[in-house]
Amino acid sequence: MENFTFYSPTYFVFGKEQENHAGKYVKRFGGTKILIHYGGGSVIKSGLMDRVKKSLDSEGLRYVELGGVRPNPRSGLVYQGIDLCRKENVDFILAVGGGSTIDSAKAIAAGTVYDGDFWDFYKGKPVTKALPVGTILTIAAAGSEGSPDTVITHEDGMFKRGASGEALRPAFSILNPALTQTLPPFQTACGIADIMAHLFERYFTNTKDVEVTDRMIEALLLTMIHEAPRVMEDPNHYQARANIMWAGMMAHNNSCGVGRSQDWASHDIEHELSALYDCAHGAGLAVVFPAWMTYTMKHDVSRFAQLAVRVWGCQMDFANPEATAKAGINALKRFFKSIGLPSNFKELGAREDDIDRMAQTACFGNGRQGTIGGFLKLNKDDVANIYRLMI
Q: How far is the CB of 15 from a second copy (least distance, A)?
A: 3
Q: How, if at all, do strands 92-97 and 159-164 pair?
A: unpaired
79-88, long-range: CB within 8 Å, 24+ apart, which pairs?
79/111, 79/118, 81/35, 81/37, 81/105, 81/107, 81/108, 81/111, 81/112, 82/108, 82/111, 82/112, 82/118, 84/35, 85/35, 85/112, 85/131, 86/112, 88/33, 88/35, 88/64
Nearer of residues 28 and 368 to a second copy, judged by Cβ: 28
Q: How far is the CB of 214 from a second copy (least distance, A)?
A: 8
Nearer of residues 163 and 231 to a second copy, judged by Cβ: 231
Q: How far is the CB of 259 from a second copy (least distance, A)?
A: 7
The 3-state DSSP class for residue 57 equals helix
Nearer of residues 73 and 148 to a second copy, judged by Cβ: 148
Q: How far is the CB of 212 from a second copy (least distance, A)?
A: 4
Q: How far is the CB of 197 from a second copy (least distance, A)?
A: 17
Which uninterrupted H or E stretch holds 220?
A: helix 211-233
Residues in contact with a second copy by the rule CB under 8 A: 1-16, 18, 208-213, 215-216, 218-220, 222-223, 226-227, 239-240, 242-243, 246-247, 250, 255, 258-259
Nearer of residues 242 and 305 to a second copy, judged by Cβ: 242
Nearer of residues 14 and 79 to a second copy, judged by Cβ: 14
Nearer of residues 4 and 370 to a second copy, judged by Cβ: 4
Other CB atoms closer than 10 Å to residue 286's CB: what's the count? 30
CA distance 357 to 327: 32
Q: How far is the CB of 60 from a second copy (least distance, A)?
A: 23
Give the chain's length: 391
Rg (CA), the chain: 20
